[in-house]
Every structure is written in C-alpha cells, then in structure tokens.
Amino acid sequence: MPAARMAAAISMAAEQAMEQWRARTQLGQKIDHAWCSQELASIALLAGRPERAEPALRAGADVLEKAGGRSGLSGVAYFLAQVLYRLGRFDEAEEWAERAEQTTLAEDVVGQAWWRSVRALVLASRGEAEESLRLSAEAIDLLHRTDGVVFIGDALAARAEVLQMLGNRDEARPVLEEALAVYERKGIVPSIQRTRALLAESPTS
C-alpha cells in the first residue's frame, strides 16, 4: 500500500478510535474508556500524531487512579510517558514513566519492559548513558521471555534511539536492522517505513 494511503488509513483508524472513546464515555463506561485510551495511543503513535492521544490518556489515568486500578493504570501511564516523550516534554514523560514503574505488577513482564524502555529514552535525552543503556537492554531481555514480537521490535527501536542520542550511531545500526526484521515479519507498515528511513540516515560500517 502506498505511504499516502497507509497514512490516511491510520488517520481514519485514529478518528474511529476517538469516536469509540467518546461514545463509551457518554455511555458511562469509564473503565472501558480508560482501557480504550491505550489502543488510541498505540494508533496515534504509529500515525506520528502523539498529541491526539494525550487527552484520552489523561482522562483514563484519572479514572483508573480513582478506581484503584493499578494494573490498568500502569499501561496508561506508560503510553502517556511515550506520548509526552514524543512531544518533547521530557520532565512530564519521566514523571509518568515513574508512575508506570510504581504501578506495574512484578509479574507483568511486558509492563516491566515498557517503563524501562521509555525511561531509558528520557534519560538518554539528558545524556545519562549508563542508566539509559542498562534500562533499554533490560527491556529487550524481558520481552524476549514473551511472545510479544511487536513489543520486542519496539524495544529494539527504542534501544537504537538511545544509542543514537548518546552518539553511538554505529552501534545503533544493527539494532535498527533487527527491529526492522521484526516489523517486516509482522507487516507493521508505519514502523517498517520509519525504521528504513532511520537506516538510510545511519552510517554503514
């Protein structure tokens, strides 16, 4: 599918997810709406429009905090941290990454990987090399224990971004190539296009 058609399809999916969110809110299905905000965020991030997800995520976090929904809140907090990071609001992103850490259950392997991955990005943006490298590596290791192939791809892409921010562009390239292989295997077109573009800008050895 051509890039323009794919972008239009993703944009339409984001709009449909937003309509579902509004409808569920109007019906009083607040907890369901809070969970739906994660789906909306995932689509918005894929579309490169993170700002579309922020209102729904904040509303979802508020509902889950009042309801005491710890496990649900961890996912919403992670996505909100991702959205804020992509918007360049790093202090807020770190706050929500820490909230994700605090609310993620010990046995939730994916959640444990998620907060590590986004916090590594925030720390790398500040040049905190040791901790960001450790956290991004731990995120990948955790996800390799699961069958969440796409999540592994995302963690690899985040690891490559960490390496690039820290000036290790040569080390980032093979990690990007590994992420691309994952996305191609699953057919995640926006992620494939984004990763190929990054590889085109990355130095070859």
Average pLDDT score, the chain = 89
Q: What is the pLDDT of residues 113-131, one digit of tens each?
A: 999 999 999 999 999 999 9
| CA-wise closest residue to 84 among 116, 119, 35 | 119
Same domain, 32 and 127: no
Same domain, 96 and 111: no
Same domain, 90 and 17: yes
Same domain, 92 and 110: no
pLDDT of residue 28: 47
Same domain, 138 and 205: yes
pLDDT of residue 23: 64
CATH number at residue 139: 1.25.40.10
Q: Is the pTM of this model over 0.95?
A: no
Total count of domains within the chain: 2
Same domain, 138 and 188: yes
Range of the domain at 34: 1-101
Same domain, 141 and 85: no
